[in-house]
Amino acid sequence: VEASIPEPQRDAWKKFQAKPFVSKDDFEKEVVRHVETTLARSMFNCDETAAYAAASLAFRDRLITEWNRTQQRQTFADTKRVYYLSLEFLMGRALDNAMLNVGLKNIAKEGLSELGFRIEDIINQEHDAALGNGGLGRLAACFLDSMASLNFPAWGYGLRYKYGIFKQEIVDGYQVEVPDYWLDFNPWEFPRHDIVVDVQFYGGVRKYQDEAGKNVAVWEGGEIVKATAYDVPIPGFNTPTTNNMRLWSSKAASGEFDFQKFNSGDYESSVADQQRAETISAVLYPNDNLDRGKELRLKQQYFWVAASLYDIVRRFKKSKRAWSEFPDQIAIQLNDTHPTLAIVELQRILIDMEGLDWDEAWTIVTNTFGYTNHTVLPEALEKWSVPLFQNLLPRHLQIIYDINMFFLQSVERKFPGDRDMLGRVSIIEESQPKMVRMAFLAIVGSHKVNGVAELHSDLIKTTIFKDFVKIFGPDKFTNVTNGITPRRWLHQANPRLSELIASKTGGLGFLKDLNVLNELEKFADDKEFKKEWAEIKYANKVRLAKYIKSTTGVTVNPAALFDIQVKRIHEYKRQQLNIFGVIHRYLTIKAMTPEERKKLAPRVSIFGGKAAPGYWMAKTIIHLINNVGAVVNKDPDVGDLLKVIFLEDYNVSKAEIITPASDVSEHISTAGTEASGTSNMKFVLNGGLIIGTCDGANIEITREIGENNIFLFGNLAEDVEDLRHTHNYGSHTLDPDLVKVFDLIKSNAFGDAGAFGALTGSIEDHGDYYLVSDDFHSYIQTQTLVDEAYKNQEEWITKTILSVARMGFFSSDRCINEYAEMIWNVEPLPVGKESGLGKEE
């Protein structure tokens, strides 16, 4: 690869290369410079917001210098790269993470203090980057951290939403959504006004034969929208590698068309065009595990996929390699089916633009893509109507039909005469209107399909994708159990615990190799260690109690058992089971004598999570939780024995305060519905026990930490179908304790019972699809076991230490290594000598 800077000038460039600061003085100098010049302020009016801005810009400069070097190094090495396509990246805050990953938090702390600021206050100024709904988006963020930390040449590609996930306010017990306009000031992104891609929509396809008799398809007409790149540097932990997350923002195409309108006096409609184009990247769809089939969403998907593929292909073409080498140089991972159009788009580029034969192109395509499935819930599996597709992406629909035809022909050869099979696996569902089944397209166009926990990966093979296992063989399907980054979820969220672990395991090495935690096993019975361990948990609970007081006004006792369920509100996640359990506890306390009450361990039940704005049942659950809290929290019979808290606007930065403060957390989905769950891992890693069903990653967590250290309950996945059948066609008698809970609700004890009729009715009259009643008894019994176990603090602490010691498996570093080996076939690029000035990216 020849360098783009001629020899004579190169010296000057090298000599004056930006040098990342490493000392406190240099950091302060940078902060002051940014305050005075970038922000045009002075030391006399530098408030915390300005100090946050300046500190972030200082770190951003530092990151971008390393980013540049990393990109040069990767371009020079010319090895295989990974592109992680995700519609969601739930990044949270960046400053604290940047300081910790480059190892300069102490310097920043001292520097800021000399300038008159407390680092915690400065960190708290930052607005979360909340470009995601829940686990799927946060997984993408953890993966970026791991890929950089492990020195993989890897980019994330996503959308730069103007509005992230809405902010949740609780008004009179109800959820109210407020738009999250987060871009007012975002020091972490670099607009790349020179990297702009035209993306086409609508129009039609003209087909003809060229002189050589080859069939040619031209997609013409329609409209063009411009995609502008915004780059966000992703620093690895304790390595110079700084990868890129490239987010696309939409704008109307060139002024020419607008100009005509403008000149003809139609100024308003030319502005309207502009606005319509900008709508594409305006807002993140706020649904988790639900497909709504809205045209704008399909537009978002194609816009993002087309811009990303154009960028990837452009970069590949610079290397002047043969097309057949494409899959040797590039691995593209599809995070769920949202980017499935990338398969079609690459095929289109290769056959329509680059003139490759269908088969040659298709081999390249299928060797390039891998697809991760995140759910088996039918309402979450994406389908797009054929008429909608035809209108928006006419050429892509044709290609999908061809992909399907060749695929069905191969199925027919393998299973001659099996017409049912053809109907079942067709990418086109023969419904009214016809639908494109995106998961099937993703399977057919990828070389590997993975689930996100063992049970989930087994389930997809035996249920929704069963036929495809017969067609492609079992090797195409694999499992990569999810993981979390210990940098954010231990080191950053729980600095004292991280410090204690470091002091016992010989430094921060465990953050790079989480299996080192194993060394903690030998301290499980060490008195002194246990004392420190317990003190840290207590301090984290005090921190959360303060936060609860300041946000809800309720005083909670930090010595009480903190029982936490924070995640999206969803019937399958069963926050209703939890709150019914709380009401049962309330009834029990009310029926106790004062003597009996003295023996009960005080409890704080903490909930948090957003409901999709259109998900009425989930909103009803939030309402019930708040109303129960309003009654219980001021009942003098109850006092400290039970408090019920709903934390408003759960997000990543709040999770960093909440997670380290649990004694138990709840992961209680109906068996077989939660693909993995990842907060379960975060809570255990922070020294909390969990109460959970045999679902998702709970099963593997149990296997790692041992059955004695987890509270499992409830029916198994294999029995769910039969139970549902009995509810609908046999007899369905509710659990008697649950009936008492319902009776209390119906007595208007928590406000007008009419408001909760749909919720109780879904269980009493509508088949109890999520098996709340079936699991209720087992749940209550298990909660009693939790109460008992908590009384023996010595044993409890030992359990938490052993659990943390055995959590090494759940590092997202392990996941990324598995993806790299089993799916991407890529190697890390070790950081060696700088390779000088390379080509521009």
Is 456 among the catalytic positions?
no
Q: Are 170 and 646 in contact (CB under 8 A)?
A: yes
Query: Tokens in use for 695?
Result: 């679902």
Q: Enumerate helices (H) and strands (E) in the chain, giving the number of each.
A: 34, 24
Q: What are phi and psi of 822, to 5 degrees?
A: -90, -25
Is 374 among the catalytic positions?
yes
Interface region with ligand GLG, contact rule CB under 6 A, candidates 128-136, 304-312, 322-330, 515-523? 128-136
Q: Which residue, 141 or 520, has its beta carbon nearer to ligand GLG?
A: 141
Minimum gap (Å) between residue 532 Cβ and ligand GLG: 32
71 binds ligand GLG (CB under 6 A): no
Pattern 276-315, binding to ligand GLG, x per CB under 6 A? ------------xx--------------------------
Minimum gap (Å) between residue 662 Cβ and ligand GLG: 18
Minimum gap (Å) between residue 682 Cβ and ligand GLG: 11
Interface region with ligand GLG, contact rule CB under 6 A, candidates 135-143, 435-443, 626-634, 737-745? 135-143
Size of the site for ligand GLG (CB under 6 A): 16
Q: Which amino acid is at 38?
A: T
Pattern 689-728, binding to ligand GLG, x per CB under 6 A? -------x--------------------------------
> For the CA atoms of the chain, what is the radius of gyration?
28
375 binds ligand GLG (CB under 6 A): yes
Is 782 among the catalytic positions?
no
674 binds ligand GLG (CB under 6 A): yes
Q: Which residue, 72 or 575, has its beta carbon nearer to ligand GLG?
A: 575
CA–CA distance, 737 with 723 (Å, rounded to integer): 19
Q: C-alpha angle with apex 659: 656 to 664, nearest 5 degrees?
A: 175
573 binds ligand GLG (CB under 6 A): no
134 binds ligand GLG (CB under 6 A): yes
Q: Which amino acid is at 572?
A: Y
Applying CB under 6 A, among 244, 678, 693, 773 the residue interacting with ligand GLG is 678
Q: Which residues of 26-59 are buried (b: 16+ CB within 10 A; e: fewer)?
A: bbbebbbebbeeebebeeeebeeebbbbbbbbbb
Interface region with ligand GLG, contact rule CB under 6 A, candidates 31-39, 62-70, 131-139, 708-716? 131-139
User: For residue 495, what are the CA distances in angstroms to 132, 529, 537, 614, 798?
Assistant: 26, 16, 12, 38, 20
677 binds ligand GLG (CB under 6 A): yes
Assign 625 to helix, strand or coil.
Answer: helix
Q: Which residue, 136 or 234, has its beta carbon nearer to ligand GLG?
A: 136
55 binds ligand GLG (CB under 6 A): no
Relative to beta strand 428-429, strand 435-437 is antiparallel
Q: For 604, which DSSP code?
A: E
Q: Which residue is nearest to ligand GLG (CB)?
A: 135
136 binds ligand GLG (CB under 6 A): yes
Q: Which residues contact 420 (CB under 8 A, 6 or more apart)?
A: none
Interface region with ligand GLG, contact rule CB under 6 A, candidates 133-141, 274-282, 340-348, 619-627? 133-141
Assign 89 to helix, strand or coil.
Answer: strand
Minimum gap (Å) between residue 676 Cβ and ligand GLG: 4
Assign 602 to helix, strand or coil.
Answer: coil
Footprint of ligand GLG on 138-167 (CB under 6 A)? 139
Is 682 among the catalytic positions?
yes
Instruction: Measure CA 48 to chain center.
Output: 30
Q: Which residue, 607 or 790, has its beta carbon nearer to ligand GLG?
A: 607
The active-site residue, picked from 80, 568, 610, 619, is 568
Applying CB under 6 A, among 70, 243, 479, 482 the residue interacting with ligand GLG is 482
Q: Which residues contact 203 (CB under 8 A, 6 or more apart)?
A: 219, 220, 221, 222, 223, 394
CA–CA distance, 55 with 111 (Å, rounded to integer): 10
The active-site residue, picked from 448, 682, 727, 799, is 682
Burial class (CB in 10 A: 0-12, 13-18, 19+), 60: buried
Is 760 among the catalytic positions?
no
Is 19 among the catalytic positions?
no
Q: Is the dihedral of CA 102, 105, 106, 112 positive or negative?
A: positive
The active-site residue, picked from 24, 573, 584, 667, is 573
Instruction: Measure CA 615 to chain center.
Output: 20
655 binds ligand GLG (CB under 6 A): no
Minimum gap (Å) between residue 612 Cβ and ligand GLG: 12
Footprint of ligand GLG on 312-331 (CB under 6 A)? none
- Write out the residues near ligand GLG by the rule CB under 6 A: 134-136, 139, 288-289, 374-375, 452, 482, 674-678, 696
Residues that are catalytic: 374, 567-568, 573, 678, 682
